[in-house]
Copies of this chain bind each other. A is one copy, B any other.
Amino acid sequence: MKTTEQEKLERRANILKALAHPSRLMMVDELAKGERCVCELQELVGADMSTVSKHLAVLKKAGLVESDKRGLQVFYTLLSPCVMNFFTCVESVIEAHTEQTIEAGNR
């Protein structure tokens, strides 16, 4: 199974795409603290349970989380906490960009 450069990029992009949503980021952030059931995450993001479930499916498909059904509830776990490190970088982008935008008078 040969991995072309193109496939590599697509896989990277898919992981980023999976993270690229406010609700999903919120969930990942919460899951970084420990496993959570869908109901907890639903309360957190305040959307329909079906919506939350679909978001979780996206994260799972990307390989970012894992699910474990115990009784009636399904618990999700963050598989790659290193994802959180990225946010430090993201914050620096945001800061720099905000300054720049203000400097430029919101041009």
Contacts and interface: CB of A to CB of B under 8 A. Distances in A.
Interface of A: 6, 9-17, 19-26, 62-64, 79-80, 82-83, 85-94, 96-97, 100-101
Contacts of A96: 63, 79-80
A89 B85 contact: yes
Q: Is the interface of A mostly helix, strand, loop or mixed?
A: helix
Given A17-B17, A20-B17, A100-B63, A11 B86 contact: no
26 contacts: A9-B23, A9-B26, A12-B22, A12-B87, A14-B20, A15-B90, A15-B93, A16-B19, A16-B25, A17-B20, A19-B20, A62-B93, A63-B93, A63-B96, A63-B100, A63-B101, A64-B93, A79-B93, A79-B96, A80-B93, A82-B88, A82-B89, A83-B93, A85-B85, A85-B89, A86-B89
